[in-house]
Amino acid sequence: MIIKPKILHICFLLTIIAIAYLFGDKYTYADIKDILSTLQNISAMIFTIAGIWLAYIYPAAVSSIVKPSTITSINYHKETEKDIERITLIVKTIIISAIVIFSIVIINLTKPIFSNLDFISLHKHVFCKFGFFITALLVYLQIIALFSIIASNILFLNDIHDKRNKRELDKLR
């Protein structure tokens, strides 16, 4: 039985909520700071590598992002459909990494501003749980991005091997 991705994501989200509710107030910003730093580094790495890979392997896709009018000049065939799937996977990964980096920037900006407010101090346990939830959610998003990059690389390798095998078969005919 294969679990649908939406159901799997909902299960993970509910698990993160439960863990944040039960244990989130045991963590402080000092505990989570290293996690945020690691997430930032991984996001930057994925963002950069995926962007370079997209620009190098699919320059037509990048030019269509910059100039949407060029998208109509792409000839669609079976090979293009595979490329569209892979490009979509890479772009989704770039977007996820950008969201993680953006969230970390917002956290780093707002933490010093709001941490000394009386309201925050009075409800510190709630904000600790919320902070843990956001951090765990960002970790989950980053894991999705990493698996997307891995999946994209596997698809790429499969295509290379398929093309090589077809060439070898053509030589034998």
C-alpha dihedral sign at 78, 84, 90, 96: negative
33-83 residue pLDDT tens? 999 999 999 998 988 888 887 887 777 766 666 666 655 555 555 666 767
pLDDT block averages, 10 residues each, the chain of length 173: 80 95 89 92 88 78 64 57 78 92 94 90 91 95 91 84 87 80
Q: What integer pLDDT is reported at residue 171 of this predicted model? A: 84
Q: Residue written as tokens 């991705």?
A: 5
Q: What integer pLDDT is reported at residue 158 of this predicted model? A: 87
Q: What integer pLDDT is reported at residue 116 of this predicted model? A: 87
| Contact in structure between 89 and 148 (CB atoms under 8 Å) | yes
